[in-house]
């Protein structure tokens, strides 16, 4: 596989529309270049994939690209999201580690105390 094929990034029309909703005006070519830079760094650092085989790469603070490998080589950007799921996962893990586990009790309670708001714990405003 050529080096060019390994780093080729294709931005889907849905992904471009989501980017325009979140960030603003750009072209697909410019966006592909931006994602490629962040993807290469994530791959060097050992990017993890989710259960669907997609990788999530932060391309701008709070904006994550969902990327899947292509059969012919290269990668496709499927969509963008604001990272709430990623931040919530990190907050849950931090709570479990700091609190010594989430315990068993009534729904919404851990060790007899109400669970803190996950959005607040993740530092996400409103939701």
Q: What is the pLDDT of residue 80?
A: 94
127 residues of the chain, pLDDT tens digit each? 455 555 899 999 999 999 999 998 888 899 999 999 999 999 999 988 888 999 999 999 989 999 999 998 899 999 999 877 665 655 665 666 665 554 444 444 444 444 455 455 555 555 4
Are residue 36 and residue 14 in the same domain, yes or no? yes
Q: What is the pTM of this model?
A: 0.63
Are residue 62 and residue 106 in the same domain, yes or no? no
Structurally, the chain folds into a number of domains equal to: 2
Q: What is the DSSP letter of 74?
A: S
Are residue 77 and residue 111 in the same domain, yes or no? no
Owning domain of residue 31? 3-82
* Residue burial 97-115, b: 16+ Cβ < 10 Å; e: rest: eeeeeeeeeeeeebeeeeb
CATH of the domain at 47: 3.30.2310
Are residue 59 and residue 30 in the same domain, yes or no? yes
Inside any domain, residue 11: yes
Are residue 55 and residue 98 in the same domain, yes or no? no
Using a 10 angstrom Cβ sphere, with 0-12 exposed, 13-18 middle and 19 or more buried, the burial of residue 24 is exposed
Q: What is the pLDDT of residue 115?
A: 46
Distance CA 74, CA 106 (A): 48
């Amino acid at each position: 596989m050529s080096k060019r094929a390994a780093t080729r990034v294709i931005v889907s029309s849905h992904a471009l529309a989501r980017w325009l909703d979140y960030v603003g005006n750009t072209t697909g070519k410019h966006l592909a270049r931006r994602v490629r830079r962040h993807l290469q760094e994530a791959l060097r650092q050992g990017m993890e994939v989710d259960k669907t085989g997609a990788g999530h790469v932060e391309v701008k603070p709070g904006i994550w690209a969902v990327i899947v490998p292509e059969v012919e080589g290269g990668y496709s950007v499927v969509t963008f999201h604001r990272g709430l799921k990623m931040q919530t996962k990190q907050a849950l893990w931090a709570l479990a580690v700091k609190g010594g586990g989430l315990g068993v009790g009534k729904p919404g309670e851990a060790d007899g105390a109400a669970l803190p708001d996950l959005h607040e714990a993740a530092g996400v405003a409103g939701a």
